[in-house]
Amino acid sequence: MNKALEHYLLRLADTALTQSQRLAEWCGHGPFLEEDIALTNVALDLLGHAKLLYEQAAEISDRDVSADDLAFLRDVDAFKNPLLTELPRGDFAYTTLKQYFLDQFNVLLYAALKDSQYEPLAEIATKALKETRYHLTRSRDWCLRLSLSTDEAKQKIQAALDDLYFYTPELFETDDDLNQLIAESIMPDLSVLKEHWQEQVDELLNECQLQVPKSGWVATGGLRGEHSEHLGYMLADMQFLQRAYPGCEW
Amino acid sequence: MAEVYEPITVAQVRQWLEAVKDPEIPVISIADLGVLYDVSIQDDGVLVSILPTYSGCPAMDTMQEDIIAELNKQGLEQVRVEVKSTPAWTTKRISEHGRQQLKAYGIAPPQEKTRQPIACPQCASTNTTCISQFGSTACKALYRCEDCLEPFDYFKCHV
């Protein structure tokens, strides 16, 4: 079980870390001060989730690794996040809609993981859920605000939807390891989660009067360590300090 | 005359820990904030258990250091701090005294009951508007009072 569990903990941790890093890039670039602070605050919460998940992964790992090693010393093909979280931050509409998709996913996921048979994961989920709910309120409000305001804002969020939509199915992908954990009630059945997610998303997009793109390719690969070029650049930026000065501490 | 050593009591340690405040809101003690979970006297020293507020809050590290420094100052050499993940911290753990202190410091205390207006800590008006759901730290949101026109921090409800 440990191998499957470590794999899933890393999937969750890598997702939170890459999402956090992209949001943190807004520091000093937010559309206005309050929003700059909000984006980086959400980034901080996600970094906290990543830390808890990496610590747990390190604890059960057969290898002698620390949470920091897992975050800073693994290369692209070892990362398991979905491609969605490594996409460049784009404009504010793009970041907002991406964040909404992920917040909606995380709220449903952590609400289900609270009942995980694996106690440490249930504890992390209980804590993360409180924060994620708050994030969802904000990203949802912003989707509505942008979609129902000026033509330019609406055009930008529609363009974001056209680009991002086909990255979302990957959130619900599973493999043999994950299916084993689902069978053991360590994690929820992601196909059920997907139905709930789709309901919520359809409702919001409808309220936003946005057009769901009809067809397109579907992103895949993160779970197997197959990533877009963007992750390499992100890691180069994020891991630079530990790579250049191994063991360096604040 | 030889000095008489009193055994350390939990109550004594808790009293000392009153001096340890939230580094970002230096009027409220970690006990009033609900972060201090347990103190126990063990064979190998004192064990202090704390509950983290927000998962990414950088103040947690400082709090741990402050606890150790304060108890060292009081002469306790062997101090360990354990960060517990359960029970999850909520704002309901903030004491009544802590809420008064937040308000006196200019931070509106959390309103756990739904549909309660957020009152301005300066003039007590409930005619207030949320400017941003996030403020200067992870635990706060930014509000403005429409009567006295002062902006203020609101300690986010977290349950």
Show which of residues 127-166 on chain A sit within 8 Å of chain B, judged by CB atoms. Answer: 127-128, 130-131, 134, 137-138
Say whether A81 sits in a helix, a strand or coil. coil
Contact B138 A127 (CB under 8 A): no
- Residue of A34, A46, A59, A139 best to disrupt the B interface, most CBs of B under 10 A: A34
**What is the pTM (predicted TM-score) of this model?**
0.91
| Lowest-confidence pick of A126-130, A209-213, B134-138 | B134-138
Query: Chains A, B: CB contacts under 8 A, how many?
Result: 60
User: Average pLDDT in the A96-108 region?
Assistant: 98
- A201–chain B Cβ distance below 8 A for any pair: no
- Residue of A23, A130, A139 best to disrupt the B interface, most CBs of B under 10 A: A130
Q: How far is residue B83 from each of residues A198, B42, B120, B143, measured CA to CA in Å?
A: 37, 17, 34, 31
Q: What's the ipTM?
A: 0.81
**Cβ atoms A70, A55 nearer than 8 A:** no
Contact A49 B56 (CB under 8 A): yes
Parallel, antiparallel or unpaired: strands B45-50 and B79-83? parallel
Those residues with Cβ within 8 angstroms of residue B21's Cβ, 6 or more apart along the chain or in another chain:
B27, B28, B29, B30, B66
Q: Is the pLDDT of residue B3 over 70?
A: no
- B27–chain A Cβ distance below 8 A for any pair: no
Per CB-CB distance under 8 Å, the chain B contacts of A45 are 54-56, 138
Distance to chain B for A18, nearest Cα, Å: 15
Q: What residue has token string 């990543």?
A: A50
**Cβ atoms B131, B151 nearer than 8 A:** yes
- B2–chain A Cβ distance below 8 A for any pair: no
Q: How far is residue A63 from each of residues A11, A66, A197, A216, measured CA to CA in Å?
A: 17, 9, 36, 40
User: Average pLDDT in the B141-148 region?
Assistant: 94
User: Average pLDDT in the B70-97 region?
Assistant: 93
**Cβ atoms B129, B48 nearer than 8 A:** no
* Helix (H) and strand (E) counts in chain B: 3, 9
Say whether A85 sits in a helix, a strand or coil. helix
Instruction: Name the pLDDT band for B67 (thresholds 50, 70, 90).
Output: very high
Q: What is the pLDDT of residues A171-206, one digit of tens each?
A: 999 999 999 999 999 999 999 999 999 999 999 999
Q: What is the pLDDT of residues A46-65, one digit of tens each?
A: 999 999 999 999 999 999 99
